[in-house]
Structures are given as structure tokens and as C-alpha cells.
Structure 1
Amino acid sequence: MILEVATLDVIPGQETQFEAAFAEAKKIIASMPGYISHELQRCLEQRHRYILLVHWQTLEHHTIGFRQSPQYEEWRALLHHFYNPFPTVLHYEAVGQKNYRGF
């Protein structure tokens, strides 16, 4: 299992609109092959900053299956205009457990 971690800086003042758009966008990501779960959390100290945590079965489910799909274009149209700067997205795997590659 892979954890995608995205730091989302929303343009200040657009948080409510972003959260409404995300309510629609989450249906898209949840329908994708390899999707396991997600969480969106808002920062208490910087109210325009969010983190998105998405569990995928494999890295390729996110980077190829989702990012190269027509559904990603819908996701992008709903959300990307809220970000400044564009989000940093990194992927993590559990330490001390067998990962999807068998290590």
C-alpha cells in the first residue's frame, strides 16, 4: 500500500469554495481502480493550507491509472484553479512491513 501526501495551499478566501468542489471531486478519486481511502485535513494555524492523504494499492494506480485518466482531467478542472502554489505531492510506504514490491 502506498500513501500519497499532497500539501494543498488554497488561495486565501477561497477555502469554502474549495471544500465544496472537493466534495464533488472526492467521488472521482474514490471510483478509481487501486483507490483504498482518503482524508482531507485543514491546518489550524494556516487556514488556507490542507493536506490530502490518499491510500493506493500501488504507486502506479496513482501515477498512471489516475493521473493519466480522463477522470483526472475532471479532478483537475474542479480543483487546480484553487491552488497557489501548485501542490507538492509525495508518496510513502510503510517501514518494516512488506510493500507491494515484496521487499
Structure 2
Amino acid sequence: MILEAAMLQVKEGMEAEYEEAFRKASEIISSMKGYISHELQRCMEVKGKYLLLVQWETLEDHTVGFRQSEEYQEWKRQLHHFYDPFPTVEHFERVEL
């Protein structure tokens, strides 16, 4: 399992609109091959800051399967205009302890 993590900064005053758009766009990502789960967390200290966590079966399910799909184009259309600056996305794998 791979964890995708993105720190998102939403333009000031657009938070409620973003959250509603994200709810709708969630149908897109949750329909993709290799998708396991996702959650959006709102920062308590910084207005407009969110953390998106998505679990994928493999890295390629995100980087190729989702990012190179028509569905991703729709995801971008629905959400990317809210971000300033554009988010950095990183991928993590669990450390077995």
C-alpha cells in the first residue's frame, strides 16, 4: 500500500466552496483502479490549509492509472483552481516496526 499525501492551500474565502467541490470530486478518485481510501483534513491553525491523504494499492495506480486518465482531467477541472500555491504531492510507504 502507498500513501499519497498532499498539503493543500485553498485561496482565502473559498474554503466552503472548495469543501463542497471536493465532496463531489471524491466520486472520481474513489472509482479508480487501485484506489483504497482517502480523507481530507482541515488544519486547525492555518485557515484554508488542508491535508489530503489517499491510499493506493501501488504507486503506479496513482502516478499512471489516475494521473494519466481522463478522470484526472475532470478532477483537475473541478479542484485545481482553488489552490494557491499549487500543492506538492508526495508518496509514502509504511515502515514495519
Residue 66 of structure 1 is matched in structure 2 by: 66
| DSSP 3-state at the match of 2:37 | strand
Residue 48 of structure 1 is matched in structure 2 by: 48
RMSD of aligned C-alpha atoms? 0.8
Deviation at 1:87, TM superposition (A): 0.5
Q: Percent identity?
A: 61
- Whole-Å separation in 2 of the counterparts to 1:66 and 1:47: 29
- Whole-Å separation in 2 of the counterparts to 1:2 and 1:91: 7
Deviation at 1:47, TM superposition (A): 1.9
User: What's the TM-score once normalised by structure 1's chain length?
Assistant: 0.92
Residue 81 of structure 2 is matched in structure 1 by: 81
User: What's the TM-score once normalised by structure 2's chain length?
Assistant: 0.98
Structure 2 gaps of 5+ residues are none
Residue 100 of structure 1 is matched in structure 2 by: none
Equivalent residues in 2 for 1:1-103 (5 A)? Answer: 1-96=1-96
* Higher-Rg member (1/2): 1
CA deviations on 1:51-89 (whole Å, 9 max, x unpaired) are 000000000000000000000000000000000000010
| DSSP 3-state at the match of 1:47 | coil
Deviation at 1:96, TM superposition (A): 1.8
Deviation at 1:7, TM superposition (A): 0.4
Amino acid of the structure 1 residue aligned with 2:29:
I
